[in-house]
Amino acid sequence: MTNALGTHILAEYYDCDVEVLNNARKIEKHLNDAALEAGATIVSSAFHTFNPHGVSGFVVIAESHLSIHTWPEYGYAAVDIFTCGDTVDPWKAFDFLKESLDCAHYSTIEMKRGQLKVVGQELKYKPDAIASAAR
């Protein structure tokens, strides 16, 4: 990935397991496991269950984040998977969640984030990498 700082996948999962979508513990485990499956380094996570139903949460990874919002009443989950650098594969996280949420169908959009023109050098997404490259 020499022309972008990161990859952002916007995923929509439809006709998912309703019980999973309304269980904050399971959702948190699935998002953390998806991050690990992708090769990410987990920093922290936070999840919240809404009344009467639904879960929102995020996993902060050293390489960016994963977030989710669920609507169990519709069997639907909206997920963002944003990874920086080229050591993490966000599509592995997407596939892991597709199976974990037991979705019937899905849609995705992939965006390259931070498409910068840096002449004569590869983009680095960590500040220490930039300092080293400048020397």
* Each residue's pLDDT tens digit, 60-105: 999 999 999 999 999 999 999 999 988 999 999 999 999 999 999 9
What is the pLDDT, as a whole number, of residue 27?
98
The count of structural domains within the chain is 1
User: 92: domain range?
Assistant: 6-134
Active site residues: 64, 69, 84
Residue 115 lies in a domain: yes
Assigned domain for 22 exists: yes
Is 1 part of a structural domain of the chain?
no
How far apart CA 45 and CA 51 sit, in angstroms, is 20
Which strands form 76-84's sheet, in the order they lie side by side?
42-49, 55-61, 64-71, 76-84, 6-14, 105-113
**pTM summary value:** 0.85
Structural Rg of the chain based on CA atoms: 16
**Could you read off the pLDDT of 2-40 as tens digits, one per residue?**
578 899 999 999 999 999 999 999 999 999 999 999 999
Is residue 83 one of the residues assigned to a domain? yes
Give me the chain's average pLDDT, please: 90
Domain harbouring 21, CATH code:
3.60.90.10
Q: Does residue 135 have a pLDDT over 80? A: no
- How big is the chain, counted in residues? 135
Residue 20 lies in a domain: yes
Ramachandran quadrant class, 127 (left: phi over 0; alpha: psi -120 to 50; beta: rest):
alpha
Residue 56 domain-assigned? yes
